[in-house]
A and B are shown apart, each in its own frame.
Chain A
Amino acid sequence: MNVARWTFAGLFLALSVSIQAADPNAIYAKGGTNPAAMACATCHGAEGEGLAAAGFPRLAGLSADYMKKQLMDFASGQRANPIMQPIAAALSPEEVDAVTTMLASKPGPKVERISRAAVAEEVGAVIALRGAWERNIPECVACHGPSGVGVGKAFPPLVGQSAQYLSSQLIAWQQGTRKNDPNDLMGHIARSLTHDEIKAVSEYFANLTETGAGR
């Protein structure tokens, strides 16, 4: 009787674990249960490092809460993207939790921390470290942290992303295809940036290396 009860309890436990704990590595490498939830690794790289040439962003080391919000916003269309919309819609909440937690635990890029105290001469560095306050454009690092390493769940890392990805997002905000930032904090800035500034500041963050830039 006791043995049977324990066996049953064990079976029940095993079953509930297999339902609740989606395997993040399997989702990432092979896709979710729903076939429309295609494998993340196809576009975001085996280690979540992204695919710079195609503008597919790095995911490794980003805040799990930030990534969860992006997936929700892809599904709802607040962040319009024809590739990510069906994928985000097909992931279950458990799968989203599992895969974002796994990605957040991966290391972010190592970079020398460059603050507003650094010298800034080129256009990209000036926008990043000084802003253009006559147009209400704050220094990028004022919210995204020194070297744009990212702060909390609302201000994602800029360093470690490709210039293609960063500029495509700023343009998406300008055009209104991305409007999922809190209180239009990023949207109003993007709309005030010139094309040349977008290109320069995207390259500035993309080119920050371990030895630093803007010195």
Chain B
Amino acid sequence: MNARTSALLLFALALPAHADNIAMEDQTQILTDAVNPASRQYFQPPKLSELPDNAFGKLVQEGRAIFVDTKTYAPEYVGNGLACGNCHLEQGRQANSAPLWAAYAMYPAYRKKNDKVNSYAERLQGCFQFSMNGKAPDATGPVIAALTAYSYWLATGAPIGQELPGRAYPEVAKPKGGFDLAQGEKIYAAQCAVCHGKSGEGQTSGEEYVFPALWGADSFNWGAGMHRINTAAGFIKANMPFGKGGTLSDEDAWHVAAFMNSHERPQDPRLVEGSVEKTRDKYHANDGVSLYGETVNGQILGKGF
């Protein structure tokens, strides 16, 4: 090592301490600006540190583990690369990200999806069949018990049967000129591909998905609520890019949602007599905005894999 290198090294050693001091001085102001006061208007679920250390607390923790790492803790019911926490951010706590605390107290409820009154357990089973492209766990089994306990605990103190602010995903007005797939493709490349991959394939660490696949065989199926462009636009507007929710315009949220949902994904498990057309007529025609059964780039969507 020559004298010049040594001098450089010394300089470098001195840098971090110097930088530390400046950061401390700036801290208060940065933090004050960063806190979003709007977050306080929503229902506040209890903190994990308040969870009792007993059998109930243990079941809630099991539910939370299934929720954030579904493939590890409930593998037999998952048919794709997703986890519950992919569409319900902050472990099901985030307002406008279909938080569990707002969902739990709204069941039993009638659902057009299966044309009957659904219990909360049945609602959870639906998530596994559609969003997770898997199998419904037994309504009286341990997976539903744990997820129900987690939801119930998050809803501690929430009013029963009352729509809370921040429930589900926000409605985002459709662009006046309709959605534009080419525009959506550009937004996708600029804002989404860094995490979800150039072709919506997601990204893994080893076998495990870190960033979920947005289309293709490992994504949600054509029966999942997220396949509706209006639903996806609401989710994206409020929650994407990850950690930067609310930064896309309403129009851009629609364009990119439409682009995402203009690709093939696993078949709707409600498929009627093997016919995409019949399935579209029965389940998709009057259920929001969907490209299921429509022709995009010369291909009819909805064939599945």
Q: B34 touching A191 by the CB < 8 A rule?
A: yes
Count A/B pairs, Cβ under 8 Å.
131
Tell me, yes or no, whether A43 is within 8 Å of chain B by CB: yes
Q: Which residues of B contact A189 (CB under 8 A)?
A: 243
Proximity string of chain A (126-137) to chain B, C-beta cutoff 8 Å, 1 when within and 0 when not: 000011011111
Q: Give the total of A residues in contact with B, Cβ under 8 Å.
A: 50
Tell me, yes or no, whether B288 is within 8 Å of chain A by CB: no
- Closest residue of A by beta carbon distance from B242: A138
Tell me, yes or no, whether A42 is within 8 Å of chain B by CB: yes
Tell me, yes or no, whether B152 is within 8 Å of chain A by CB: no
Proximity string of chain B (216-232) to chain A, C-beta cutoff 8 Å, 1 when within and 0 when not: 00000000000000000
Tell me, yes or no, whether A56 is within 8 Å of chain B by CB: yes
Q: B19 touching A168 by the CB < 8 A rule?
A: yes
Q: A142 touching B16 by the CB < 8 A rule?
A: no
- Closest residue of B by beta carbon distance from A152: B203
Q: B23 touching A142 by the CB < 8 A rule?
A: no
User: A38 CA to B8 CA in the complex, in Å?
Assistant: 11
Given contacts A38-B5, A134-B36, 11 further A-B contacts (CB under 8 A): A54-B9, A143-B195, A143-B210, A146-B210, A152-B203, A154-B195, A164-B16, A175-B26, A183-B241, A188-B243, A195-B20
What would 10 A/B residue contacts be, using CB atoms closer than 8 Å? A42-B1, A54-B13, A83-B8, A134-B35, A136-B34, A143-B195, A151-B210, A168-B19, A171-B23, A188-B244
The 9 closest A-B pairs by CB, nearest first: A145-B205, A192-B34, A117-B65, A116-B68, A117-B69, A138-B243, A133-B90, A182-B194, A134-B39
Q: Which A residues are within 8 Å of any B CB, using their own CB? A: 38, 42-43, 54-56, 82-83, 113, 115-117, 119-121, 130-131, 133-138, 142-143, 145-146, 149-152, 154-155, 164, 167-168, 171-172, 174-175, 182-183, 185, 188-189, 191-192, 194-195, 198
Q: Which B residues are within 8 Å of any A CB, using their own CB? A: 1, 5, 8-9, 11-13, 15-16, 19-20, 22-24, 26-27, 30-31, 34-36, 39, 48-49, 61, 64-65, 68-69, 72-73, 85, 89-91, 93-94, 190-191, 194-195, 203-206, 208, 210-211, 241-245
